[in-house]
Structure 1
Amino acid sequence: MTAADFTNLHLQYKSQQAEGEVPAAIEHDFEAGRMVDHYYVTPSPAFWADEGVQSLGQVAGILFLQQPDGAPWKILVHEPAMIREVIFEMPEEEFRQMLAASGVILPGEPGFVPPQ
């Protein structure tokens, strides 16, 4: 998966889920520890066409999980019962491109402004 496979990333806080969006969480490190933030994201047609994603039947959520020491991010795609998942990797550069394309700065990072 690449940055182009995930668009319209925005915080769930005070937001409505639009058609085509999937609940997502980003678990990431920041200076004071580790944080989980909740978003909505629009996956691309290539995401939905992936054989693994199609095998889930339905997607209930996506978790972007930061790995230690600059290793690629894990993207965990869950079905509603959360018994099965499909896992992809995304290099740090791609993940940051995804954030930048949606104008997202993660909480705890320089430039983050809490929602009002």
Structure 2
Amino acid sequence: MTAADFTNLHLQYKSEQAEGEVPAAIEHDFADGRMVDHYYVTPSPAFWADEGIQGLGTVSGILFLQQPEGAPWKILVHEPGMIKEVIFEMPDAEFRQMLTDNGVILPGEPGFVPPQQS
């Protein structure tokens, strides 16, 4: 999977899930520890065409999981029962490109502006 396989990445906070979007979480390190943030993301046709994804039947969520020391990120794709999953790897540079392409700065990282509370 590459950065081009995931578009329309945006925070779930005060957002509604649009057609074609899948709930996603990003678990990442930052200066003060580790954080999990919830997003919606639109996977590409190539994602849906993958044999492993088709074997799940339905996708209920995607987890982007940062690995230590710059190792490739794990992308865990779950079906509703969370009994089966498909795992991909994405190099850190590709993951960061996906964030940049979607205008996303992770909480805890320089430049992040928290959403406004109402």
TM-score by length of 2: 0.98
Q: Which amino acid aligns with 1:80?
A: P
Quote the Cα distance in structure 1 between the aligned partners of 2:83 and 2:68. Answer: 25
Quote the Cα distance in structure 2 between the aligned partners of 1:72 and 1:104. Answer: 19
Quote the Cα distance in structure 1 between the aligned partners of 2:83 and 2:66. Answer: 21
Quote the Cα distance in structure 1 between the aligned partners of 2:27 and 2:55. Answer: 25
Identity %: 87
By how many angstroms is 1:34 displaced? Answer: 0.2
RMSD value, Cα: 0.2
Matched residue SS, 2:18: coil
* Aligned positions, number: 116
Report the equivalent of 2:14. Answer: 14
Q: Which amino acid aligns with 2:115?
A: P
Structure 2: where are the runs of 5+ without partners? none
Off by >3 Å, runs of 4+ in structure 1? none
By how many angstroms is 1:48 displaced? Answer: 0.1
By how many angstroms is 1:13 displaced? Answer: 0.1
Q: Are 1:96 and 2:96 matched, yes or no?
A: yes
By how many angstroms is 1:3 displaced? Answer: 0.1
Quote the Cα distance in structure 2 between the aligned partners of 1:98 and 1:44. Answer: 12
Matched residue SS, 1:46: helix
Report the equivalent of 1:4. Answer: 4
By how many angstroms is 1:79 displaced? Answer: 0.1
Matched residue SS, 2:111: coil
Map residues 103-114 of structure 1 onto 2, 5 A cutoff: 103-114=103-114
Structure 1: where are the runs of 5+ without partners? none
Quote the Cα distance in structure 1 between the aligned partners of 2:22 and 2:75. Answer: 13
Report the equivalent of 2:25. Answer: 25
Matched residue SS, 2:28: strand
TM-score by length of 1: 1.00
Quote the Cα distance in structure 1 between the aligned partners of 2:105 and 2:70. Answer: 18
